[in-house]
Structure 1
Amino acid sequence: MDLQNTTMKNISEKQIFVIILALFYIFAVSCRTAHRENAELHTADSDNALFDPPEITGFLQSRELNESSGLAASKCQPNVFWAHNDSGGGPFLFAIDQFGRNLGVWRVANAANEDWEDIAAYKDTDGNCFLFIGEIGDNRQIHKTSAIYRIPEPTITRAEPASPADAPSTKSAEVIRFRYPAA
């Protein structure tokens, strides 16, 4: 009787070993296949690729934009991008072109920059463009509320100042205040 139980036990262990080995082989083959498929996405022609390969087109040229934390492409002005610093530099928006050249600086009226983290551009159904700025950072967990500022997107002209010291103000920001649930 003991011999029969021992044989059954050995067979079960062998079966488990074979199953584990087969699973390992399937896993290894699937990883290799996924890697090959991803490599093909990157080498495919641009008509069929999900994304174009990265390309450096320029560098930020504004000395004042030294802690950039957000970037949004304008929905109304071609080749205009909006950026802002993370915190401590005041409530300023920087317009840059696709090469990183400075197109102007604006002070956001009715806003403070305690810890801006993101920016988004939006075009409504009437064709009006807006910028949403997220005052949502709180690394030290000291802010009781967060805010999202909404402003009409400033229009770029050739005469815009390149420095926060001379920056014109935007229209007054609408403020959406909120509080994250307690963790």
Structure 2
Amino acid sequence: MRFSLLLALLPSLFIMCAQYGQLTPIADLPKRLNESSGMVAVNGEAVWIIEDSGNPDKIFKVDLQGKLLKEFKVKNARNHDWEALAQDPEGNLYVGDIGNNENHRQDLVIYKLPDPDKEKGDKIDSEKIHYRYPDQDKYPPKRKDFRYNAEGLFYKDGFLYVVSKDMTRPYQGEARIYKIPAVPGKHKAELVSVINTCDDSRRCSITGADLSPDGKTLVFLSYGQLWVFKDFKGDDFTSGTIDLIDLRANTQLEAITFLDNNTLLLSDEWSGGGGRNLYRYTLN
């Protein structure tokens, strides 16, 4: 009987391994969060999550068992295309309305929210950090210059760093890092790094980014791969080592955050009958 049961489970186990690869699923996200696009960890016990375009102007707190704990409507904000979430040491959140698939937006903005764990009620204030790219002068540019979409965002030493998602055709396989002061107002971003990823437009386009709590490790995420940056100096992120990790995962991974200096949490969107999960991955 046990052998027969094992044989019956083998196809499902094979599909799961092929889909999740090196990732360890730890929870199903709530069904209402089908399109998680940004995430930050909260005291090693929960995560704040946002969703992208077409979804509410809200942030959601979910524990590591997948239970929805709290939600806030963000005031003075609109979810045009929320694609990334970051946090500073004081607990302020930064919601990146930085999705720009058509490369035509002139209203890119990052919303700064006070520490939501100190807020009451079901609404939270926001301030606007507007920015523009220093190297874009046409809206939209020619398709060969479609490099002004972004889905990665992280905080470091008083600045926000936006990581572009390459949509050029023919595909160039670049990730550009832009630096913006983490203060409300209108800013011209500064280009600080251009990183060659690889030549597969699906697996080499960046969908998430985060910096470890100790500031020593930067990670980029794509649909199935992870770039790990270490030993860099200041914000010259190409000055150290860069390791590419094949997660062997076949799922629409959109969000990543450090749980601690060596442990990552990742989430994916519901797609093709799978996903909407929270995963753990430990860096070597």
Shared fold per TM-score greater than 0.5: yes
Whole-Å separation in 1 of the counterparts to 2:23 and 2:36: 19
> Is 1:174 equivalent to 2:111 in the alignment?
no
Q: For residues 128-174 of structure 1, what are the alpha-carbon distances to aligned partners after superposition, in whole Å with 9 as ceiling and x for unaligned?
A: x11111110010223112111111121289xx9xxxxxx8111x211
- Partner of residue 48, structure 1: none
Aligned partner of residue 24 in structure 2, secondary structure: coil
- Partner of residue 26, structure 2: 57
Whole-Å separation in 2 of the counterparts to 1:143 and 1:91: 19
Q: Which amino acid aligns with 1:174?
A: E
- Partner of residue 68, structure 1: 36
Whole-Å separation in 2 of the counterparts to 1:101 and 1:169: 20
Whole-Å separation in 2 of the counterparts to 1:98 and 1:156: 20
Q: CA deviation at 1:175?
A: 0.6
Whole-Å separation in 2 of the counterparts to 1:143 and 1:54: 35
> Is 1:87 equivalent to 2:53 in the alignment?
yes
Whole-Å separation in 1 of the counterparts to 2:28 and 2:115: 23
Q: CA deviation at 1:123?
A: 1.7
Mapped contact 1:82–1:93 kept (Cα < 8 A): yes
Q: Which of 139, 146, 149 is matched with 2:111 structurally?
A: 149
- Partner of residue 93, structure 2: 131
Q: Which amino acid aligns with 2:28?
A: F
Q: Which amino acid aligns with 2:132?
A: R
Whole-Å separation in 1 of the counterparts to 2:78 and 2:111: 10
Question: Percent identity among equivalent residues?
Answer: 32
Whole-Å separation in 1 of the counterparts to 2:50 and 2:27: 17
Aligned partner of residue 72 in structure 1, secondary structure: strand
Whole-Å separation in 2 of the counterparts to 1:102 and 1:156: 17
Aligned partner of residue 155 in structure 1, secondary structure: helix
Structure 1 stretches of 5 or more lacking a match? 1-52, 161-166
Whole-Å separation in 1 of the counterparts to 2:96 and 2:52: 10
Structure 2 stretches of 5 or more lacking a match? 1-21, 137-144, 146-284
Whole-Å separation in 2 of the counterparts to 1:156 and 1:59: 26
Q: Which amino acid aligns with 2:116?
A: P
Q: Which amino acid aligns with 1:103?
A: L
Whole-Å separation in 1 of the counterparts to 2:56 and 2:103: 20
Whole-Å separation in 2 of the counterparts to 1:168 and 1:64: 17
Residue 65 to residue 87, structure 1, CA distance change in 2 (3 Å):
same
**Considering only CA atoms, is the larger Rg found in Structure 1 or Structure 2?**
1
Structure 1 runs of 4+ with >2 Å offset: none
TM-score by length of 2: 0.38
Q: CA deviation at 1:117?
A: 0.7
Whole-Å separation in 2 of the counterparts to 1:152 and 1:78: 19
Whichever structure has more strand as a proportion of its residues is 2
